[in-house]
Amino acid sequence: MLVLSRKQDEKIIIGDSITLMVVSIQGDKVRLGIEAPKEVTIHREEVYRAIQEERQRLGSDSSVDTPSGTS
């Protein structure tokens, strides 16, 4: 893991199209601003994990029906 230090209003550039900026620091909370192409999905870790768990649940759910004539 790469660990970088940044102050408020400083940025990190990822690749050619993603910019991460420290918007504010208040106590133990850091607010980040992210600029990225709209095809790049961005989630907080807990939201991402919930999405993955839901996808796994739906993928392993044998009660999910497929439309007639498809497999």
Q: Does residue 44 form part of some domain?
A: no
**What total number of domains does the chain contain?**
1
43 in Cβ contact with 32 (< 8 Å) = no
Q: Does residue 50 form part of some domain?
A: no
Q: Does residue 53 form part of some domain?
A: no
Q: Does residue 21 form part of some domain?
A: yes
Q: d(Cα 34, Cα 13) in Å, to the nearest integer? A: 10
Q: Does residue 16 form part of some domain?
A: yes
Element (H, E) at 3: none
Q: Does residue 56 form part of some domain?
A: no
Domain holding 25, by residue range, is 8-37
Q: Does residue 59 form part of some domain?
A: no
Beta partners for 33?
A: 21
pLDDT string in tens for the chain (71-residue length)? 999 999 999 999 999 999 999 999 999 999 999 999 999 999 999 999 999 999 999 987 655 555 555 44
Q: Does residue 58 form part of some domain?
A: no
